[in-house]
Chains A and B, each alone.
Chain A
Amino acid sequence: MLTTWAYISNYFVYSAMAVFTISFIAHAFETAFAVRAPEAADSTEGNLLLKTLDYKRTEKSARIATAMMILGFILLLAGIVARGISNGHVPWGNMYEFSITGALAFTGAYLAALRKYDLRWLGLFVSVSVLLTLGTAITLLYRNSAPLVPALKSTWLVIHVLAAIISGGVFLLANVVAGAYLYLDRLESRGPRPGWLQRVPSLEVLDQLSYRLVAFVFPLWTFAVIAGAIWAESAWGRYWGWDPKETWAFITWVAYAAYLHARVTVGWRGRRAAWLCIFAGSTFLFNYVYVNVWGTGKHTYSGL
């Protein structure tokens, strides 16, 4: 019975991957075919060779891309719920489960931001990263459904991990935006953007956007760390023990606090702020990958 749910979960995850692949192809199609070669008639004025973008031609593929992204999100969500049923507890007990939930959070952050901002230019990147994450998860990190080790049996686990995963999804999205900022900044210092990048908003918008994303989730991350401390107190008898995972959560927290300070109180903008944002996001990724895989300490559980 419970094994059946595990199979169902896997089918959902595989279907989600298929759907994300369609989304990826549609995004790629959109990006590639919206670009118009410069026409002779256009070359009356200065920007002779500037390619233009014409999204009317790719309207349909854009819709498919986003629709598939939403469908992928739903399928993945179903997969995670089924996994939870098969486990008999929330599906956040090992790295496979963290990864698929992280992919869900990342997609969710993108879709939520898409409602407010014109972010579809990011879709290509989002679909690729989600596919890579799911692919790695299901091939390298997959573990059979298993009961939780006793220390993980706690309501605080649910709260703590959920908050951490959502924060992670948004942090990574902010990092992607900051990365796009740096890349475009370099391109623009050499000349106008190539056609396929015209869709991406101006540098100021990117700069603001990555700040908004961080400012939005920083309280949630703070909460995640505190919920973790409460859980550690009841499981291990201390709320803070400088375990590697805790240490890196702290480093991430301090790094983002520094980023917010740099922006709000010292007035950093643009390139410096983007680098600091990427640094802070990397500490989060490092925590996830390094400490889970190679680290020692209480957060490294039975075989990932």
Chain B
Amino acid sequence: MSKEIEVPELGFFALIRYAWRQLTSMRTALILLMLMGIAAIPGSLIPQRITNQIAVRDLFSTNPDLAKWYDRFSLFDVYGSPWFSAIYILLFISLIGCVLPRSVEHYKAMRAQPPITPKNLSRLEHHHEFAGDAQSMERASVWFKKNRFRVRKEGNSISAEKGFLRETGNLLFHLSLILILVGVSFGSLLGMRGEAIVSVGERFVNVATSYDSLSFGKLTGEKSLPTFEIKLDKFVGQYDPVTNAPKDYTAWVTIKENGSTYKKVIKVNKPLTFGDTRVYLQANGYSPVVTVRDSQGNVALQGPIPFLPQDGNLRSIGSIKVPDAEPQIGFVSSFVPTNARTTDQGAVSIFPELLDPKLLFSIWKGDLGLDSGIPQSVYRIDTSKLEKVGLGSVKPGETFTYPEGSITLETVVPWINLQIVKDPGKSYALIGGILAVLGLLSSLYGRRRRIWVRITSGGVEVAGLAKNSAPGLDVEIENFVNAIRGEK
């Protein structure tokens, strides 16, 4: 407290040194640590853009004022916000400022001899005094050696020390936290992440335009995408017949890379690996394969259209847009893999597999608005400039005809969502994590202690000191004393 009064009198460099010392003090570290914990809380209570974009958008429409205020304080991006970054950057500066000098100190301490035996051993803990002779000294040396203490002999006394692993482990732990952070930063600066929906039979080529969404770290870009191709040959989702819960997803793919072609299987916990890029099976759904014809019978659209699942039984919604028809045609549709009708909800699906698939739609004509420049969801149609011309439904192989043309449901194929991730910092973070655990173990279970023994005219004196009042030294010293007395 009294230090604060001195501040105005300090010169510039002294001020900096003062600030540095404050920042790297233990109390500041503790406060920052607690702040970091508290700062992480709002991100788990308020929807975050990185995890739940839709909920954020919903909040903007239901409660725009609140949302605006949240946004002003980066509460939708807590973990990338300036204040969160400020806390962890300060914490890590503090950590570095504390740990590096301590590492140097510790290194020196490890090479230095144990401190000499204090004059008055009776003031220390675990003090024992008993009769003994020169042999006692010999036995003490042997015991220390056997128990791997570092010793310093000086005249009629020995000081011995053990347990440097505790401090070593502690430093290792804190240093590995820095390594983890380095790994995380590498990943976010040099990594990439993207997603792409691929229907069975389709081919994914790893270039930027193949992605539905794609983002790069600040220091990298499209050139970093490795070249490969993935063709989705087959996908099977298995579901439990009782609970309808998914049991297993498997995708069979053919890969083309560096001129070679081979087959692979992707599962949820088994991604594909291309160097430090990995390809994950993330989600799946169904793509009705449709053919839309105009009134003359010319094909205006043909192919699989991915639909977006809405529930566990994969009732899905989607839109079939036919901009090449004259006039433009749009189908606002839903798809059910196992059709059942309820009186209140209309068509529902009662099982996620394709047992009785059905495509239901309303047909609209007019301007689909695709040229307006406003980005549109592929799953929805803006019907404000359209006119409804009918309602219908088809099962595979069936054709539905309306005045402007017809739609045929050829078949239904699954689609999968591939998540493609490059994270070059991952292995650093992993190594950091492993070292952190090892460091913690030796730091929290290690015990640093000193034992002194001295031959005096009256006999032998023994005392010990445990750092951080670690337990167990009393027992150890008793063993030691017994050993000196030749009792064990």
Contacts and interface: CB of A to CB of B under 8 A. Distances in A.
Interface in B243-279: 243, 245-249, 267-271, 278
A243 B48 CA distance: 9
Interface stretch (B50-58, B65-73, B200-208, B298-306): B50-58
Nearest to A248: B44
B41 A266 contact: no
Contacts of A125: none
A12 B118 CA distance: 62
Interface in B58-107: 78-79
B124 interface: no
Contacts of B441: 219
A219 B269 CA distance: 26
Contact of B430 (A147, A230, A242): A230
B195 to A, nearest CB: 9
Given A150-B249, A230-B430, A251-B41, A235 B268 contact: yes
Nearest to B425: A239
Interface residues of B, number: 53
B312 A302 contact: yes
Nearest to A245: B44
Contacts of A265: 26, 29-30
Interface in A98-145: 144
Interface in B163-202: 184, 193
Interface centre among A150, A233, A261 (most CB of B within 10 A): A150
Contacts of A296: 47, 52, 55
Contacts of A36: none
B248 A226 contact: no
A167 to B, nearest CB: 13
A32 interface: no
Contacts of A250: 37, 40
Interface string A213-227: 001101100110010
A285 B149 CA distance: 43
B36 interface: yes
A293 interface: no
A194 interface: no
Interface centre among A236, A248, A295 (most CB of B within 10 A): A236
Interface stretch (A54-62, A183-191, A252-260): A252-260
A270 interface: no
A150 B280 CA distance: 13
Nearest to A146: B243
Given A219-B440, A296-B55, A261 B245 contact: no
A240 B312 CA distance: 26
A236 B279 CA distance: 10
Label chain A's interface by main secondary structure.
helix
B55 A237 contact: no
Contacts of B36: 254
B426 interface: yes
B119 interface: no
A273 B24 CA distance: 22
Contacts of A41: none
Nearest to A252: B37
A153 interface: yes
Contacts of B48: 242
A239 B430 CA distance: 9
A254 B26 CA distance: 15
A45 to B, nearest CB: 33
Given A235-B268, A247-B44, A215 B240 contact: no
A297 interface: yes
B423 interface: yes
Contact of A258 (B30, B193, B278, B433): B30
Contacts of A295: 44
B134 interface: no
Given A147-B247, A219-B444, A222-B440, A266 B26 contact: yes
Interface string A286-304: 0000010001110000100
Contacts of A238: 193, 421, 423
Contacts of B282: 236-237
B87 to A, nearest CB: 11
B33 interface: yes
Interface centre among B48, B245, B421 (most CB of A within 10 A): B245
B323 interface: no
Interface in B223-247: 240, 242-243, 245-247
Contacts of B268: 150-151, 153, 235
Contact of B37 (A216, A234, A239, A258): A258
A40 interface: no
A239 B40 contact: no
A18 B295 CA distance: 75
Given A218-B444, A230-B430, A234-B269, A150 B247 contact: yes
A219 B441 CA distance: 6
Contacts of B468: 264
A223 B444 CA distance: 14
17 contacts: A150-B269, A218-B444, A219-B441, A219-B444, A223-B437, A229-B433, A234-B271, A238-B193, A242-B48, A242-B50, A242-B79, A247-B41, A250-B40, A266-B26, A266-B27, A266-B30, A291-B44
Please name the 8 residue pairs, one residue from A and one from B, whose CB atoms are nearest each other, closest first.
Answer: A254-B37, A237-B280, A150-B268, A226-B433, A247-B44, A219-B440, A244-B44, A265-B26
Interface of B: 26-27, 29-30, 33-34, 36-37, 40-41, 43-44, 47-48, 50-52, 55, 78-79, 184, 193, 240, 242-243, 245-249, 267-271, 278, 280, 282, 312, 419, 421, 423, 426, 429-430, 433-434, 436-437, 440-441, 444, 468
Given A149-B247, A218-B440, A296-B52, 17 more contacts: A146-B243, A147-B247, A149-B245, A150-B247, A150-B249, A219-B444, A234-B269, A234-B271, A237-B278, A237-B282, A237-B419, A243-B51, A244-B44, A247-B44, A254-B33, A264-B468, A265-B26
